[in-house]
Structure 1
């Protein structure tokens, strides 16, 4: 393959894995001087140094390069140096308006952590009204979780549990989503979470309470057909959420399930016609913008700007803002 003919360059750096692999140690912990300790920041810097030496990076100032940074903190050390590229992210919760946007980047679904529901649509085995299992206490926009616990934990037909990630909690979450009509999806530390995609593949209708969430593949998926959206003010009013869900007719729930089954493949990374194929289709749609910005960069004169030039970054409105 001739790189001269390439429209895009994928940078195969697993930024989220690098972040997770980076050890967190107290300054008082002694480490053997002969032992090599992995350092995510150093790895990011090494990646950037290598990129900046590459002729194809220099050719278009990085506009035609694609990076995966799905963890909210992935590539945090060099994000301002790669922000021209196409960023594959879960949301914009910790990215500035001059770093990422729907215009140039692509929202990825999290890989679901529980088993897909293999049965048919129906309500016979879904005896619970609403299910949630997760960490009750989160920062920033996730403060709403504690409020929801307070208004929901004593409601009939509602299962709401506090719990951290483990094999047993995943088993319980799988059972809960497969036997409930609705699944609660509140914001966490950032607007999105893998729970939404667990619910979708479980055919458990998501109830999204996250004012600044961005969702994957919205040009092909109308989320109003597969989910219920509530603003945080309405959701935390005592009795309001449960009252609304009880009014949803069985026929309407079956319609939701039917639509969930239709779009389920978009959230299956293992499917040949699933998530990965759709991600690259989404990236390909950015090509006209990449050409435009590359050509614009080459002709533009140096300007004395008092603020960042975010000409193409005009629709990042999902950073966490809350008064809760």
Structure 2
């Protein structure tokens, strides 16, 4: 047997097997209750998982394994552990068992990723720094009787009652989430829908959804248990305020709704499932950014200072390293601003309009925020002619900027009366009237991947044609975008007319009707209504706290 060591672990190789063993558990100041995670095996070309068997064990006298969990993780999990052999055996504190149970299970739900954020072997050894939110995430059903409690640490500063109280709160939150996961999975396996849990009002159904039954149950579970805590630190205008009438309006409308005291809020942070950092990147640009300098340092410094304040005042950021916290912004610079803190960038839920996967947007933990241009009443943009009465094949009007629009304008501006592409509309023509009379509305990216034209097309009953690379569409966890939109790669812009004309009349009518059905999910109401845009944004955050993506049915 060959041994290789460092200050933390020994690597023991024998019979094509790696054993990672803590040299001295006492060095971590943990009690002697440990769990052995043993025989984690990768099977070539196949991802499966076996049900775990969890037992407590005592390593105070013996270092022989006494409890086992058998997992066949997917390759992403395996590569994140940086192993190249068939077996791995790791001793872990009993409190951290749920971390490595956070594995992909193809027979249950199509999860975006195996881990909320990847962990290397070195990070796995630092047990006292494993994010609690990630530890608590598990795709297996958890009840009050089998929730793994954290080993009690001896401390003169904390009473036994206080430790037990904190354990109970964490367990309650995680039990709620685990029950919700189980309920969603059960609804997905039902052949008779989720009639038992149907409520009055709108019931999701039809082809616009990836899985209408699971979505309905997930939304219901969110309404039942989901709670958000908003940090009160900070002063306006940089915090607790946002724009409400421009291209960034969704940022201000969301912050404003939470400031008004939505029922999903909790004043008790111990009961929250997620924590909102209520600063506004748009307001930072307006008040602390120096125009034309393109220097984001003041904005980054503010974000860094804000996280420093709440992490010292409250235990929640440090407990999860930001994994159960979220920010929300529609400004193009929000992704770069979030880079100032690696935990904010890599762990936290970032709800962004600029949902560009080539610039670090991670759909397994980040959510897309729909971009909406609000200038006045939304009623002006709603409506449109029937599918049969629409005379224009495709329409676009907008500035010639970014990488996509110059290609579109070059190929189609003034070329074909069926593909009406304009930089600026001629006098006498109404932008919204044109959208309401067009069959397809072209939605190319501008400076960034997002465009308010997608929402405007939905309002106008116009089938959106998405022309964008690396863009994660809004609410794509639950919405089946190919059922009501056309997605055209940049290379096919010259063939745009051929692509649209190849769609049959019946198919177009079906898509157009689905666009109209879709409107409720992109409508902003005051106060919010069930299944409207505000609540769909909440549902996107809820799914990422569960780390669940609804599969196609």
Q: CA deviation at 1:231?
A: 1.6
CA distance, structure 2, for counterparts of residue 53 and residue 190 of structure 1: 35
CA distance, structure 1, for counterparts of residue 547 and residue 504 of structure 2: 44
Which residue is 1:131 aligned to?
Answer: 395
Match of 2:536 among 278, 284, 303: 278
Q: CA deviation at 1:120?
A: 6.2
- Partners of 2:411 and 2:493 within 8 A in 1: no
Q: CA deviation at 1:227?
A: 0.8
Residue 52 (str. 1) matches residue 317 (str. 2): no
Over the aligned positions, Cα root-mean-square deviation in angstroms equals 2.8
CA distance, structure 1, for counterparts of residue 529 and residue 386 of structure 2: 23
Which residue is 1:241 aligned to?
Answer: 496
Q: CA deviation at 1:41?
A: 4.5
- Partners of 1:200 and 1:206 within 8 A in 2: yes
User: What TM-score do you get using the length of structure 1 for normalisation?
Assistant: 0.73
- Partners of 2:276 and 2:325 within 8 A in 1: yes
Q: CA deviation at 1:21?
A: 4.3
- CA displacement, residues 93-151 of structure 1 (integer Å, 9 cap, x when unaligned): 38744xx4111111111124474323563332x2221111111132xxx2x32222122
Residue 121 (str. 1) matches residue 386 (str. 2): yes
Match of 1:147 among 395, 407, 411: 407
CA distance, structure 2, for counterparts of residue 264 and residue 155 of structure 1: 30
Which residue is 1:252 aligned to?
Answer: 507
Residue 197 (str. 1) matches residue 462 (str. 2): no
Residue 89 (str. 1) matches residue 347 (str. 2): no
SS for the counterpart of 1:286 is: helix
CA distance, structure 1, for counterparts of residue 407 and residue 481 of structure 2: 25
What are the equivalent positions in structure 2 for 1:280-295 lying under 5 Å apart?
Answer: 280-289=538-547
Q: 1:203 to 1:63 in 2, by over 3 A?
A: same
Which residue is 2:302 aligned to?
Answer: 43
Q: 1:259 to 1:9 in 2, by over 3 A?
A: same
User: What TM-score do you get using the length of structure 2 for normalisation?
Assistant: 0.44
Which residue is 2:420 aligned to?
Answer: 159
CA distance, structure 1, for counterparts of residue 515 and residue 546 of structure 2: 32
SS for the counterpart of 2:421 is: strand
Which residue is 1:267 aligned to?
Answer: 522
Match of 1:79 among 339, 348, 357: 339
Which residue is 2:80 aligned to?
Answer: none
SS for the counterpart of 2:449 is: coil
CA distance, structure 2, for counterparts of residue 245 and residue 284 of structure 1: 36
**Structure 1 residue ranges, 4+ long, deviating more than 6 angstroms after superposition:** none
Which residue is 2:325 aligned to?
Answer: 65
- Partners of 2:327 and 2:349 within 8 A in 1: yes
Which residue is 2:276 aligned to?
Answer: 10
Q: 1:181 to 1:25 in 2, by over 3 A?
A: same
Which residue is 1:34 aligned to?
Answer: none
- Partners of 1:121 and 1:254 within 8 A in 2: no
Structure 1 unaligned runs (5+)?
A: 28-38, 291-324
SS for the counterpart of 1:233 is: helix
Match of 1:106 among 342, 359, 367: 367
Which residue is 1:218 aligned to?
Answer: 476
Which residue is 1:307 aligned to?
Answer: none
CA distance, structure 2, for counterparts of residue 180 and residue 62 of structure 1: 45
Query: How many residue pairs end up in the alignment?
Result: 265
Q: CA deviation at 1:73?
A: 0.4
Q: CA deviation at 1:284?
A: 1.5
CA distance, structure 1, for counterparts of residue 491 and residue 335 of structure 2: 34
SS for the counterpart of 1:68 is: strand
- CA displacement, residues 202-238 of structure 1 (integer Å, 9 cap, x when unaligned): 11111122132211112321111111112211213xx
Q: 1:257 to 1:44 in 2, by over 3 A?
A: same
Which residue is 1:312 aligned to?
Answer: none
SS for the counterpart of 1:122 is: coil
CA distance, structure 2, for counterparts of residue 95 and residue 247 of structure 1: 31
Q: CA deviation at 1:23?
A: 5.2
Q: CA deviation at 1:42?
A: 4.7
